[in-house]
Structure 1
Amino acid sequence: MRPAAGGAVGKPGAGKLVDCPATPSKPPVTNGLPDVSLACLGDGPDIRLADLRGPLVINVWAQWCGPCREEAPYLAALAKSGKVKMLGIDYDDPRPELAVRFAGDEGLRYPHLVDQDKAIQRPLKVGGPPLTVFVDANGAVAYVHRGVLTSQQQLDQLLKDKLGVTR
């Protein structure tokens, strides 16, 4: 297991965020998430992405990203539905305290990780945020949506088409 990218940072207000859960170690899967561990933006342990299984939606965002703010209500609504597991990754963000505030203000009630060092850039081909990853029950990346989600209907359709989940 590789060391956490980003490391521990002072995160005022982190108690307002959903804690990162402990995840059991699992072998990496073909076409799965990268074998990278990231620190929790709120409270909780580092999470190794390769351990995660779905159905799961991972949203890569940053508090300085305008399109991330535009799509946040759709992600918040999906999280509230409880139909899939969700995870946020605060990407290449120099101000974790503002990221904590953004996630809290937008009602993003799911765990968030920190990737200040861009550890996921190459394996997930991140050009920049926002980026949304759909992970199936076996842990394989079913689809990567690059760019902003423009409507709740678009997100719901992607869930149905890529993960077989209806909201």
Structure 2
Amino acid sequence: MRRVLAAAVLATVLAGCGTGTGAGAGTPGSGASAIPGADKLVACPPTESRPPVSNGLPDITLPCLGSGPDIRLADLRGPLVINVWAQWCPPCRDEAPYLAAVQKKAAGKLQMLGIDYVDTRPELAVKFALDRGLNYPHLVDREKLVRTPFKVGGPPVTVFVDKDGKFTLHNGAFTSQQQFEQSIKDRLGVSL
């Protein structure tokens, strides 16, 4: 169920990361259709298999929240913003409008990806993403697999991934659109 649910939203984020049939490519999950609204999420695309990068994204594969294949994080390259969130997290709710606004402005300049973190209510996660206009692919991490590499004490955590696959972190919620966009410019060299 979680495999399918996360697939839908990651498609938009990973569309710029390449396509292929490598380790990150899989078959669509079978449970998303059972989650109300999951079919409305952006589907996860297949990604090109790439070798892990030193100081890069962890070699962790996560299922999609909607439909599409599981995604291996180590295959991803930027410029990419990954936001670790949960529907039960008040600061995640506060910063969601900034994420949605950047996604609209970023077409062709920047990819976005969400990771629904330690969430036992996938139907509420889907509703959260749809209601807040988070129109990019989302993955699911129920087992806290990104906790150590992304230093997640609790969501939100934002991960900035450069073109070489190396990343930097921002822990906590962004408090303004300007702060978020300035972080993207400073860390990834992308102006919106």
Query: Normalized against structure 2, the TM-score is what?
Result: 0.81
Determine if contact 1:60/1:91 at 8 Å carries over to the other structure.
Answer: yes
2:37 corresponds to 1:13: yes
CA distance in 2 between partners of 1:11 and 1:91 (Å):
17
Which residue of structure 2 aligns with residue 27 of structure 1? Answer: 51
Query: Normalized against structure 1, the TM-score is what?
Result: 0.93
Which residue of structure 2 aligns with residue 106 of structure 1? Answer: 132
Cα displacement (A) at 1:123? 1.6
Q: Deviations over 1:127-155 (max 9, x none)?
A: 110000000001011x2000001111001
Determine if contact 1:8/1:39 at 8 Å carries over to the other structure.
Answer: no
CA distance in 1 between partners of 2:65 and 2:35 (Å):
7
Determine if contact 2:158/2:169 at 8 Å carries over to the other structure.
Answer: yes
1:48 is aligned, of 72, 75, 84, to 72
CA distance in 2 between partners of 1:39 and 1:137 (Å):
23
1:59 is aligned, of 83, 103, 111, to 83
Distance 1:30 1:91, change over 3 A: same
CA-atom RMSD, angstroms?
1.6
Counterparts of residues 118-157 of structure 1 (less than 5 Å)? 118-141=144-167, 143-157=168-182
Show structure 1 runs of 4+ deviating over 6 A. Answer: none
Determine if contact 1:63/1:93 at 8 Å carries over to the other structure.
Answer: yes
Identity %: 66
Q: Matched residue pairs, number?
A: 163
CA distance in 1 between partners of 2:30 and 2:60 (Å):
16
2:105 corresponds to 1:92: no
Cα displacement (A) at 1:11? 2.5
Which of the pair is proportionally richer in strand?
1
Cα displacement (A) at 1:110? 0.1
Q: Give structure 1 stretches of 5+ with no counterpart.
A: none
